[in-house]
Structure 1
């Protein structure tokens, strides 16, 4: 009996020999599909992180400029409200310097404008305030992107120093 049993297992294994190769091919195919999907997910995560880093840098540039303006005490409608500080220009230059894979530069473009008082005096929060709007734009993964923020600062005509920190964020 034992002999017949052993002979039976040998026959079963002999008939199963070709299936082992098919099992390996199927396993490799499934593994390659899974790895391809994983690689696609990693590429998407990298692009998302890159876009987030660009927005973070743009907001850092605007906050640094607003912090610098808050320390200043310029007269109302003075042209110095629209000048980019040296500290902020250094941040812009370092962000625009080629770096990273492929030496890609971000090409941040920065504009600072005074917010006009308008024709209606009731729209002006206070005569001692100067409104400033700053826009940072760059070529991102989805084409031209920009972030714009506005803030009102007390001028030298006001008897108070410091900003109101009214911020309007517009992400395009």
Structure 2
């Protein structure tokens, strides 16, 4: 399938060296210098969610419009569920990736979107509670864009355990 993917910066040979260097010395000695086996690429889907937030400061006034609109971009790892707010989008390239190399998402799209909305509300309430005397009332949070990108990882098997390395 054709996907937007983050560029691969580490070659397979270099990944094998890095993985072997990260293996603790005691493990190398006790386990008779076993090397990581089956080094291959896997891709994890990240959701790029752009939200438009409409909020009002203080009490509602009929004579003046005191609403404020701003955008928040969130990146969510669909495998682990970790999310963070970003200012700049990661650079991607178009790439053909076999479906067998894509890690299956543990969370469905609806749950991701709703959980991120809750995080945005908590973040805004926390930020503006200390900054302003008046409360910031959130009127609407609207999902503007939902896009997927894929991040490559080198995965190696070392004595039955998977070791992940950013590609």
Instruction: Confirm or deny a common fold (TM above 0.5).
Output: no
With normalisation by structure 2, the TM-score equals: 0.25
Name the structure where helix makes up a greater proportion of residues. Answer: 1
Determine which structure has the larger strand proportion and give its number: 2
Larger Rg: 1
